[in-house]
Every structure is written in structure tokens, then in C-alpha cells.
Amino acid sequence: MKLLAIRRLWRILRVTLRYRLDDLVFALPLPWHVRILQAVMPWRWLARSPSQWSRGEALRLALEDLGPVFVKFGQILSTRRDLLPPDIADEMAKLQDQVPPFSSEHAMRLIEEQLGAKIDDVFSEFSSAPLASASIAQVHAARLKTGEDVVVKVIRPGLKPIIAQDIAWLLLLAGLVERASPEARRLHPKEVVSDYEKTIYDELDLLREAANASQLRRNFIDSPLLYVPEIYWQWSRPQVLVMERIYGVAVTDMATLADQGTDLKKLAERGVEIFFTQVFRDSFFHADMHPGNIFVSTRTPWDPQYIAIDCGIIGSLTPEDQDYLARNLLAFFKRDYRKVAQLHIDSGWVPSDTRVNEFEAAIRTVCEPIFERPLKDISFGHLLLHLFNTARRFNMEVQPQLVLLQKTLLNIEGLGRQLYPDLDLWSTAQPYLERWMRERYMPKHVLGNLQQQFEKLPHVANMLRDSVEKFSATPEPRRNPQVWLHTVLGAGLLVASAQLGLAFELQTWPAWLMLSAGLVLVLRRA
């Protein structure tokens, strides 16, 4: 193993000990065989003074100290306040845009290198103090020579080596978990880490983020639901991104939203509508919708509009996944458990030999107690946790293409309930899903699908023609001369055995011997 990876592991251990993260772990209700590990940790043999940090603060500082991979993990945790104690949730929220910044001098030098020009030649104003700082990059306020207010996003230095080392250790840990636990293998931890690796490396390419933002902006152009800032392509590079500066209220700033008279119920419902619009209408959804990337426009608080930034992580679904997902959700909330079970089998999410009635009964057992509560009180997050135990019995495997979707749905749910605790997620989503399903079978949509199939016919015809030509041009394989000799000899033996007679008598054994040898020679392959 590389020396740098060993050094990174040592740093992770030092940070763990510095912030007493082992105390947080062993304070949890763990099984006895895990608690035995305390006896083999030498540092726990000695008396230690009380920690100077609260548990939430210690966890936040440790994640900041360990770098972008761990900060991103904390950002995901911050959106699930219903799953975290309040003190930890408050500290995790600070990871959204309050990560300690790096040197402004280094940022300005990198901007000039990427743009190939002096800052004064590009911007009439440039603020050296960053507006915000996150795990991957930080942003500076500026004004172009043409007068537009913009923000300049610049990638943190030295991230790739750190990320590579963290991913290496995560892959090693995932491999150990897969070998140790059959149940964990169904979660495909190595695939999850690999997907996360691709995602975080994609975030290091700001041109990719710019392209995603442009597409998302086109999808919601002139929409009252969502606004995406404009990208200034002439000044955007792989490590520097220049985009329109937006003026809005952070979605978590409840006091300011209340002061300006924002319709919080409508705001929460629109968040759900934006999610389903992205997933089912566009199949192109913002997959990093934590509170640090979402703002609310101040122009019309009675008709609130979201503003989305940081489009580095984008997800998409195939038409087949879209269809199965919509059908599952509709059947699920109609309590049609038979259909839910059958759809899981048809889609390949569970093995094809799964007994539908048994799977249906297991789903009903888990879901019925949940549905006894009002729909507004049902948490998708808790529901997924309950369904996991059921899934293990039927070898249900995690679908890699749905991981980003599940994460985004949890983010939206957590955000919506924070804005409006009485949010009825299902009453908001159901009309949209039903309308989308109806539109799929409308003549216009069906004709569009037929047109797509007809457009593929010339390509299919060319492939068929090429295959026929290739097959016809294939020379006939040369026969081994020995094969003909064996065949002739075998045929002779068969004829001779027939001439001798094949009666079931002892004296006819030569005929049977020749028959056997003849069959072997005739039927054998070259």
C-alpha cells in the first residue's frame, strides 16, 4: 500500500482520538462483542480529562479536519434532523457553507492562472474575502467589466490526493464488510463507494457543473417554481466558474422568511413539486439539494420561488425506472401490496423466483402499522429503514441507479418538514404522479414513442445488413482430414457389425465391439 495512504490512515486515527469520537461510538447501545474492542485500545486504559467540545461540535470539527469526503457526509446528515439529536443536527448544518476558507491569495492566483488574465482585467470589482466556503470550493463576489454582478467559484487546492486516499480506505473497508457479512453484500458497498468516487471527482470539474446548471436553467426557464443562475461561459474554466449572483434568503433562515411573509406551506409543497418535476418530466434532477445550495427569492414571498445553486451532482433515470418507480409509489400509497411485490419482481429488484404472496405478506406486515398514522406524519426515511429488514429476507439488492434518487428524496423530505412540519408529502405528490401516468398513455406520447422507434429502423437495418454480410463472408471452416478417415472407418465397422449379426448371445461379442467402436468413430468431434 502506498505510503501516502498509510499516512492518511494515521491522520484519521489521530483526528478520531483528538476529538474523542470513540467516546461517541461507545456511548451508543452496542452489542457486547463490539464493546469488547474497548479492551484492546491502549488509550482507553488511561484516565482522560473531560472533552472541551460538546459531542456535536466534536463531530463537526472532526469532519472538517478530515476533508471534503467527510464534510460531504456531514452535509447529508444535516438534512435529516428527524434522525439526529438536535445538538448534532445544529452542528452538522454549519457544514453547508461555513467550512473554514482557504487563502484568498491562493484563490486569486488560481483564478488568474485559469482565466489567463489579471483579475483587474476581467472584473471591475473583486472581493478577496469569500462569500461562502464549502467542502469542495469557495466563492467570491465580483462585478464584470460589463456591469453584471457575479460570483466566482474556485476549487480548493490539493483535494485530489486527499480524496484518492480516503476513497482507497473506504474501498478497503467496503471489501472487508462484503467478505464478512452476506447481508452487507446485498447493499453492494463497493459499488456505492465507487459511485461516490465518481460523484465527488465530477464535482472537481466546474465545467461539468456549468453544463448541468445550464440544462437545469433551460428546464425551468420562466417557471415560478425554480430559478437557476446564468452561467458566463467565456470566463468559466475547469477550476473556476463565473455565474450570476443571486440575492435570496437561505432556506433555513426561518426568521427572515417569516419576517418577509413567506407562504411556508406553499414553499414546502413547491419543493416536493420541483423534485417530482425533475425526476418524472425531465429525468434530470439536482441530487445535492442540501440547505446550503437552496435559497428563496425575496421578490414575491406570497408566491415563493426557489433558487438552486451548485449543480455538480445531477441524477437521471431510465424510462423503465421512471415507470416502475411511479407505479410503485402509487400502488404503495393505495396499499396495493400485491402490486408492489409484483413490480419489484418484474423490475428485477428482487429475484424472479420470489414467491409473490410471501413478499406481499411481508410488505403488508411492515407497512400497515405505519399507515395507521396520518399521511403527513409518515416519514419516507423511517419507512425505508423498516423496509430494509423485510428486504433482507428476500435478497433485495440496492439499485445503484436509485441511490442518488433516494438521497435526494430524503433531502427534500427533511427540508419540507423543516419549513412546514404539517407537510403532507403524499397529497402533494399523488396528483402529479397520477397526471404523469395518464400522460404516458395519451396519443401524443404514444405517437412520440412510435416516432422514436421508426427513427431507429435505418440503424437497425444497417446493423442487420452488416451482420448478414459478415456471416456470408465467413469462409467455411477447413475440415480435418483425419475426421473423414475416422468417419469412413467407423462406418465400415458399423456395416461389418451388421453383417456379423447383433443377437444377444455370447458368441456375437465381436459384432457388438465393432458396433461400439464404429459409433465412437462416427460421432466423435474433430
Q: Which residues are known to be catalytic?
A: 288
Nearest to 412 by CA among 286, 505, 327: 286
Rounded to an integer, what is the distance from CA 311 to the centroid of its chain? 14
Where helices occur in 142-279 by DSSP H, the ranges are 159-180, 182-185, 189-203, 206-219, 254-259, 264-276
Query: Residue 203 and residue 155: Cα distance in Å, rounded?
Result: 9
Query: Residue 302 and residue 67: Cα distance in Å, rounded?
Result: 40
Q: Which residues of 220-240 are buried (b: 16+ CB within 10 A; e: fewer)?
A: beeeeebbbbbbbeebbbebb
Query: Identity (one letter) of the amino acid at 186?
Result: R
At residue 318, the 3 state secondary structure works out as coil
Nearest to 111 by CA among 100, 132, 126, 90: 126
DSSP assigned state of 82? G
Nearest to 82 by CA among 380, 295, 367, 296: 380
Q: Which long-range contacts (CB under 8 A, 24 or more apart) does 120-128 make?
A: 122/235, 123/150, 123/152, 126/152, 128/104
CB-neighbour burial class of residue 481 (10 A; exposed 0-12, middle 13-18, buried 19+): exposed
Query: Identity (one letter) of the amino acid at 404?
Result: L
| The three three-digit cell numbers of residue 106, written as one number | 491562493
At residue 47, the 3 state secondary structure works out as coil
Query: Residue 28 and residue 85: Cα distance in Å, rounded?
Result: 13
Query: Residue 120 and residue 193: Cα distance in Å, rounded?
Result: 42
Query: Residue 370 and residue 24: Cα distance in Å, rounded?
Result: 31
Q: Is 154 left (phi over 0), alpha (psi -120 to 50) or beta?
A: beta
Residues 6+ apart with CB under 8 A from 251: 257, 291, 294, 295, 296, 306, 415, 419
Residue pair 214/231 in contact by the 8 Å Cβ criterion: yes
Query: Residue 358 and residue 83: Cα distance in Å, rounded?
Result: 30
Query: Residue 416 and residue 27: Cα distance in Å, rounded?
Result: 31
Query: Residue 148 and residue 133: Cα distance in Å, rounded?
Result: 22
At residue 237, the 3 state secondary structure works out as strand
